[in-house]
Structure 1
Amino acid sequence: MNSSLSSVSGVPLRAGGPAAYRRARRQAALRAFLLAAPLLVFLLATFIAPIAILLARSVENPEVPRGMPALTPMLRAWDGSGTPGEPVFAALAAGLGQAAADGRLGDIARRMNLYEPEFRSLLLKTSRKVRGQTPDAWKPALIDFDARWGQPETWRLLKRAASTPTPDYLLNAIDAQVRPDGSIAPVPADSAVYRAAFGRTVWISASVTLLCLMFGYPVAYLLANLPPKQSNRLMLFVIVPFWTSLLVRTTAWYVLLQPSGVVNQVLMALHLIDHPVPLVFNRIGVLVGMTHILLPYMILAIYSVMKNVSPVYMRAAQSLGAHPATAFVRVYVPQTLPGVGAGCFLVFVLALGYYITPALLGGAGDAMISQLIASQTNDLLNWGLAGALSAYLVVFTAVFYFLFNRLVGIDRLRFG
């Protein structure tokens, strides 16, 4: 074969031998990278970087170090026994005044209030007290103003707030806390919120995934085995919902499931019920709305695999004496498991982060973890706890991917 005319992977092998070929391959790879570079930069700036910054917030503790930089190293050097000396009290007084002048005192007070509910009022009152004061000794003056400044626990909390990175947010996200002696313990039962929310989120996501699988598998089987003309027509009913806004579809269910809505009216007209059944603002509404919205993802994932399963295997099994049902369960279904796994994983992961549908159709006991994250960022402005909750959600997603991949091998899925 003429080396000047031959090519490998689209790169001609001109005169010069292997060295010229490797140089040409490097140039082709460089051109491909330069073409993809704008997309990579866009993804980094709009997707990867914001997620990384939010996750980093889960271990950051910047309020006290930034607001009172002179006090922070003194607190870190303090051994935690008794109360600090006069220099630390003086640094606290100066730091409170400077933080108030810089507009950082509110952030510090909000951070400390996570440790002790009354700490915010203590800092604000003390800040107002120290303005314009020049006592001979700050330690007795502050203790005389509020006895809590003479308690070691108050200073231990300040020392914890001056340390970064911190596990506090990660512990709070699973309803745990650090005791004064440094041990980790669960929060009181009446304050525990997040573990129940994580369990509720997983339960709802798993239920929606199971419902989508129950309804989606027969539909995908029908679409894969119908003649192409009929299959393409029916496929429109699967694809059209993607052209409708998620908010519009959720609002439609909000109207349909009302006590005076269409669903209750039809059931009463058929004499299946005597009075309206509560179908909204509860778990039923959440499951119905999320199943309807996520069902197309399950159908398309399974259909893509079923379309490539040859009917020859079923006919061969039946020709060897297998009952059609046995041939379906033992021959056909195992070949579709990669699609089932991909569909289940896709639906499950999308359901984990759902926000609009549970917020509109669910009740007070149906709040998912995404709603708590939104509450922390929009209402409470606690980005650290929001980052911790998001970090656990990412971990859950990775764990469930590993489990699905081990069970059905979704990484072997090929779309054709």
Structure 2
Amino acid sequence: MAQADATMMGGAGASSGTEKLVTAEGVPLKRALERAQRRRKLMAFALVVPLLAFILTVFVFPIAQMMWLSVKNDQIVNAIPRTLEELRDWDGRELPDEAVFAALHADLMEDLERPRREQATGPMGIRLNYELSAARSAVSRTARAASGFEAPYKEAFIDAHRLWGDPELWRIIKREGRPLTASYYVAALDRQYDEDGRIVQRDENRRIYVSLFGRTLMLSVIITGMTFLLGFPIAFYMSILPMRHANLLMICVLLPFWTSLLVRTSAWIVLLQQQGVINTGLVTLGIIDDENRLSMIYNMTGTIIAMTHILLPFMVLPLYSVMRTIPPSYMRAAKSLGATPWTAFRRVYFPQTLPGIGAGGVLVFIISIGYYITPALVGGQSGRMISNEIARHIQQSLNWGLAAALGTMLLVGVLALYWLYNRLVGADSLKLG
């Protein structure tokens, strides 16, 4: 007992001595260690700040801005606030009463007094034109003539443009007179609002976006499957070759990266067109008649062929990196135990390549689902993808809200598919090298 008590007293003394340890400057050792640890953390964070700022600037902020544009809807609110206040109790059936037209005239006159760059009627006309054809001309023509209007204003507005006598225009103004809107997403799903404000399906000849999403998904799956069928034998052959020959083949695989994407796509146009190299060769060999040349360009076939060639390295590289780590002795051991070459490949070798297949498949699928240049050049009408429609709205129709809604839906769709893949397979099984 006495010996145990002495030991405990010695331990307590040692602990007390440790707490009294100080540095050469007289700072307690524990505090000095905490200060050094905090300094290291700050230094590590300072080193990461440039990369974090770069990611926020070129990746997170543009995506957030795109998602905001898909619901932003302040054009009408900024242009005619008095009119929207008068429309609050309107039933949406007959034309609004004289008070609404008088408020609209007051809003237009106030807007005309602003500097030209701050006038809001122009953006309002563009926004209304997305919902109803000729609405932009109605707003611009009426705004120019509003200074000469006299009461009663209802007849003056209807005389200025016929759309002011259409209840549909007023229903749109009331519905879209809010800071936020879901109209862009409604249009992106091939839906529209009816007279009662319910969301209904568009006419059959105006439904394009849902089918484009389906075509984009289908083409991406086909291209991913084609790159797998072509890339697996290439990667397998490279993995069993000596390193010297494998490096030579790796250069051939990477060679397309050294050539401009536009040049490669243009080369496929030369090869695939009806008077191109492939058709001419088939006619020369007598395989097809000159009158029955194959149509392989400006359609879905051209998109699949060109994009498979362009995205093939993204499948080969992950496969090769995984196959190179599989010991050949596994196959020899399976054969020595009585397995046939096919059984050994199917039950021993192939399961070990699944991480490479998953990584290559995810890379090719995600890249192809948002591809733009190649479908635009070789896809024609049947080979176009949703990215081409997004670009059209940004560059031609200038309907940035609808383009943002389509882009957001595409992003959410890709994230949902990746989440599903993670739940079924597991993202931790991916191996890129």
* Same topology, TM > 0.5: yes
RMSD, matched Cα: 2.4
Deviation per CA, 1:123-143, whole angstroms, max 9, x where unpaired?
23432332233x344345435
Q: 2:239 aligns with which of 217, 224, 233?
A: 224
Contact 2:359 2:432 in 1 (8 A): no
Task: For 1:34, give the aligned amino acid.
Answer: A
In 2, Cα distance between equivalents of 1:308 and 1:76? 70
Task: For 2:375, give the aligned amino acid.
Answer: P
Identity %: 45
- Whether 2:122 is the aligned partner of 1:110: answer no
Q: Which residue of 1 aligns with 2:360?
A: 343
Q: How far apart are 1:346 and its partner, in Å?
A: 0.8
In 1, Cα distance between equivalents of 2:111 and 2:41? 53
Q: 1:120 aligns with which of 136, 143, 146?
A: 136
Question: SS of the counterpart of 1:379?
Answer: helix
Deviation per CA, 1:278-328, whole angstroms, max 9, x where unpaired?
221122211111000000000012112222222333233222222121111
Q: Which residue of 1 aligns with 2:329?
A: 312
- Whether 2:391 is the aligned partner of 1:374: answer yes
The change in CA–CA distance for 1:19 and 1:313 in structure 2 (over 3 A counts) is farther
Q: How far apart are 1:193 and its partner, in Å?
A: 1.1
Contact 2:359 2:431 in 1 (8 A): no
Deviation per CA, 1:327-361, whole angstroms, max 9, x where unpaired?
11112111111211111111111111111111111
Deviation per CA, 1:124-180, whole angstroms, max 9, x where unpaired?
3432332233x3443454356667545544322111121131110001011011222
Q: 1:392 aligns with which of 377, 386, 409?
A: 409
Task: In structure 1, list runs of 5 or more residues that go unmatched.
Answer: 1-14
What is the count of residue pairs matched by the alignment?
401
Question: SS of the counterpart of 2:192?
Answer: strand
Map residues 13-412 of structure 1 onto 2, 5 A cutoff: 20-76=32-88, 80=92, 84-99=96-111, 102-133=118-149, 135-139=150-154, 141-142=156-157, 149=164, 152-275=167-290, 276-412=293-429
In 2, Cα distance between equivalents of 1:415 and 1:103? 54
Question: SS of the counterpart of 2:382?
Answer: helix
Contact 1:358 1:368 in 2 (8 A): yes
Contact 2:356 2:432 in 1 (8 A): no
Q: Which residue of 2 aligns with 1:10?
A: none
In 2, Cα distance between equivalents of 1:68 and 1:141? 18
Q: How far apart are 1:264 and its partner, in Å?
A: 1.8
Question: SS of the counterpart of 1:177?
Answer: strand
Q: How far apart are 1:238 and its partner, in Å?
A: 0.9
Contact 1:341 1:405 in 2 (8 A): no
Q: Which residue of 2 aligns with 1:11?
A: none
Structure 1 range deviating more: 177-186 or 76-85: 76-85
Contact 1:224 1:306 in 2 (8 A): yes
Contact 1:337 1:408 in 2 (8 A): no
In 2, Cα distance between equivalents of 1:340 and 1:297? 11
In 2, Cα distance between equivalents of 1:284 and 1:147? 47
Q: How far apart are 1:73 and its partner, in Å?
A: 4.3
Contact 1:305 1:413 in 2 (8 A): no
In 2, Cα distance between equivalents of 1:168 and 1:182? 11
In 2, Cα distance between equivalents of 1:152 and 1:287? 47
* TM-score normalised by the chain length of structure 2: 0.85
Larger Rg: 2
Deviation per CA, 1:231-258, whole angstroms, max 9, x where unpaired?
1111101112111111111111111222
* TM-score normalised by the chain length of structure 1: 0.89
Q: How far apart are 1:406 and its partner, in Å?
A: 3.5
Q: Which aligned segments of 4 or more residues in structure 1 are displaced greater than 6 angstroms?
A: none
